[in-house]
Amino acid sequence: MTLRLTSLVLVALLVACSAGAQADPELRHFPMDDLSGLRTQSGVVFDETTSSDGNGSVKIVADEPVTVRLYEVEGVDIEQARLIYRAMVRTEDVDGQVILEMWCRFPGKGEFFSRAFDQPLSGSVDWTALEAPFFLEAGQNPDLVKLNIIINGTGTVWVDDVHLLRAGL
Summarize pLDDT for 121-153 with one digit per residue, the tens. 999 999 999 999 999 999 999 999 999 999 999
CA-CA distances (angstroms) from residue 17 to 6, 14, 79, 115, 165? 16, 5, 21, 35, 21
DSSP state of 49: S
Summarize pLDDT for 23-77 with one digit per residue, the tens. 579 999 999 999 999 999 999 999 999 999 999 999 999 999 999 999 999 989 9
Which domains occur in the chain, in start order? 26-167 (2.60.120.260)
Instruction: Using only the alpha carbons of the chain, give its radius of gyration.
Output: 20
- What local confidence, expressed as pLDDT, does residue 129 receive? 97
Average pLDDT over all residues of the chain: 88
**pLDDT classification of 114: cutoffs 50, 70, 90:** very high
Q: Is the pLDDT of residue 159 over 90?
A: yes
